[in-house]
Amino acid sequence: MSTPTRGFCLLVAALSACVMVGLYIHYCYVTVSLEHAAQQQAWSDLANVGDYVLAELDSLKRAGSGWGDEDVVRLLTSLQHTEPLRTCYTTYVDAKWNVLFTSCAAGLGGQQGAVGSLAGAWLPAPGDLPGAGSATRGSLLLPQGRHLGLAYAIRSDGTQLLVHRANVGGVSGSVIRRTLLVAGIMTLLWSCGVMGLTAYVILTPTYTGLKREAERAETKSLQQIQDLVRTRDAVILGLAKLADSRDPETGDHLDRMSFYASTLASALMREPRYRHRVTPVFTRLIEVSSGLHDIGKVGVPDAILRKPGALTDDERLTMQTHTTIGGQCLRNIERRLGSSNFLQMAREIALCHHERWDGTGYPIGSAGEQIPLAARIVAIADAYDAMSAGRVYQTARSHERCVAIIRDEGGKQFDPSLVAVFLKVERRFSEIARQYGAAAESPPLAIDGPVEDRSQVAAGVRTPALVAEPV
C-alpha cells in the first residue's frame, strides 16, 4: 500500500472513530436523559393518581362510612377500573408490609396471592417529589420486574397505600436503547460514507499531484544518477587511458579487458558456487573497474615502462611497484569520497591482480581465496590478453596456445575453479580478441613458450613455468 493511500485510509479511520465516539456519547446522554425524564413523568402521573385515591378516601371518611381495612379494600376495589387507575396499580399494606389488597390482576408474584408481604421490597428514592404531599417516592423490586411508585401513610397505625406502575412513561428502557442503537448505526454508516466520499474527492487531486510530483522527482533523480554514473565512467576511462597511454601495449587493451572480465563474471553467475557472490551488479562493477588494473603505471618511469628488452633486477622491482601505487591511489580516493563497492573493487584489482593462487605472486604474496575474487578474474583476463595480443617483450600466441597455458596454470598461477569456468567460455574470448585485436607495436623478444610477466623478466632470464602476463 502506497504512503498516500495509507494516509487516506488513516484519515477516514480517524474521522470514523471520532464519529463513533460522538455517537456513543450522544447515545449515553440521550438514554440517561430519556430514562430520567420518563421517571419524573411517571412519578408525576403517580402523584395525580395518588391524590385522586386520597381524595376518595377522605370522602369516605367524611361520609362516616367507616375507616377500617375492609372499607379501604372495598373502596380500592371499586376504583381499580376507573380512568385514572387504568395505567397504575394500588397496593394496600399494613405496618409490617403485609399485602392487604392489590389491584394487580395476577397478584404481585405472577399469580394471585403469591406475594403476601413486601417487607424489604420497597426502596425509597432520595429526594422529595414536588406536589406529592406526604408521599415518598421509591421503587418496588417485584418478581416480575421493577415498579416505580409512591407510598402514602393513610393512618397512624402504619398502614400505607402504594401507587405504582411497571412501564416508565409508557416506553421501556430497552426499547429506548434499541431504538437509539439502530439510529446510531445508521447515522454512523451515513456519516462514514459521506466523510469517505468527501475525503476521496478532496484528497484524490492532491494524491494525484503528489504522485505526479514524486514521479518527476524520481525521474530527475534517476537522470542525475545516470549522469553521475556516466561522469564516473568517463573519469575512470580517462584515468585508465592515461595509464595505458604510457605503456606500449597493443590496440584496444582496455576494451578487451572490460569484455574479458565481464564475460568471465557473467559465466560465474550461472555456477551454483558463485551465484550468490557474482550478481549483475558485481558484473557491471568489474566491467568498469577492470580498466583501472594498471593505473599504478603512471608512477613507473618511462625508461622502464617503455624498455623493449628484458628488465634488470632493480628495474623489475620498480615495475612491480605499480600494484602498490595503484592500490594506494585508489585508497586515497576512497578516503576523500567515502568507501563504495566500485572503489573497493577497483582497489582490490589494482593491488592484487598479480597475486598467484600458489602464493608466489606480488606485492603481498596472498594465496588461494585470500586473493579477492575480482582480482582473480582480472588475472585470467589480463594473462589471456597479454599472450593473445603480444607485448614488446613477447610474441603473440594463438588462442589455442593461450587456453592451453591457462589450463595448465590452474591451481598454480590461477584459481582452478575460475579456470574451469573460463574453459566453458573461451570461444567468446577468441571472438573478443579478433574483434578488438592488434599487433604489438615493437618487435617482441625472441622467446618461444610461456614466460613471466614484464615485472618478472630480469636481464633476458626467464622461468618457463610462469605464464606471460603484463604488469
What's the CATH code of the domain at 311?
Answer: 1.10.3210.10
Mean pLDDT in each 10-residue stretch from start to end of the chain (471 residues)? 65 74 72 73 84 86 74 85 83 89 69 67 72 73 84 86 74 63 76 74 76 82 71 64 58 83 95 92 91 86 80 89 90 79 88 95 94 96 88 78 95 95 94 72 40 45 40 44
Positive or negative torsion for Cα 274, 277, 281, 287: negative
Identify whether residues 167 and 273 lie together within a single domain: no
Amino acid at 438: A
Residue 258 lies in a domain: yes
Q: What is the pLDDT of residues 116-149, one digit of tens each?
A: 788 888 888 876 554 445 788 888 888 778 888 8
Which residue, of 142, 175, 208, is where some domain finishes? 175
Rounded distance between C-alpha atoms, residue 162 and residue 157, angstroms = 16
Identify whether residues 250 and 171 lie together within a single domain: no
Residue 135: predicted pLDDT: 84
In 10 A of CB 274, how many CB atoms? 18
Going by DSSP bridges, is the β-strand pair 136-142/160-165 parallel, antiparallel, or unpaired? unpaired
Identify whether residues 406 and 323 lie together within a single domain: yes
Rounded distance between C-alpha atoms, residue 184 and residue 93, angstroms = 45
Which residue, of 175, 190, 206, is where some domain finishes? 175
Q: How many domains does the chain have?
A: 2
Residue 204 lies in a domain: no
Which residue, of 143, 175, 207, is where some domain finishes? 175
Are residues 143 and 156 in contact, defined by beta-carbon separation less than 8 angstroms? no
Q: How far apart are the first and last CA of the chain?
A: 55
From the list 8, 17, 7, 14, the residue with the least C-alpha distance to 188 is 17
Amino acid at 192: C
Residue 124 lies in a domain: yes
Q: Global pTM? A: 0.52
Indicate the length of the chain as a whole number.
471
Residue 263: predicted pLDDT: 95
Are residues 73 and 167 in contact, defined by beta-carbon separation less than 8 angstroms? no
Q: Grid coordinates standing for 458?
A: 630480469
Residue 182 lies in a domain: no
Residue 361: predicted pLDDT: 94
Q: Grid coordinates standing for 358?
A: 600458489
Domain of residue 374: give its range.
246-456
Q: Grid coordinates standing for 197?
A: 466520499
Identify whether residues 401 and 272 lie together within a single domain: yes
Query: CA 453 → CA 166, 354, 394, 405, 449, distances in Å?
Result: 113, 9, 9, 14, 13
Q: What is the pLDDT of residues 438-469, one digit of tens each?
A: 433 334 443 344 444 555 444 333 333 344 44
Residue 469: predicted pLDDT: 43
Residue 232 lies in a domain: no
Identify whether residues 167 and 315 lie together within a single domain: no
Residue 413: predicted pLDDT: 95
Amino acid at 199: A
292 contacts: CB under 8 Å, gap ≥ 6: 236, 239, 240, 243, 326, 330, 346, 349, 350
Q: What is the pLDDT of residues 299-321, one digit of tens each?
A: 888 888 778 778 888 889 999 99
Helix (H, G, I), strand (E, B) or coil at 313: helix
Residue 441 lies in a domain: yes
Identify whether residues 171 and 252 lie together within a single domain: no
Identify whether residues 128 and 252 lie together within a single domain: no
Are residues 47 and 131 in contact, defined by beta-carbon separation less than 8 angstroms? yes
Q: Where are the alpha helices (DSSP H) in 270-312?
A: 280-289, 302-305
Q: Is residue 450 reached through a cis peptide bond, with omega within 30 degrees of 0 on the bond before it?
A: no
Contacts 24+ apart (CB under 8 A), 366-372: 369/415, 371/415, 372/345, 372/348
Rounded distance between C-alpha atoms, residue 375 and residue 293, angstroms = 9
Residue 235: predicted pLDDT: 65
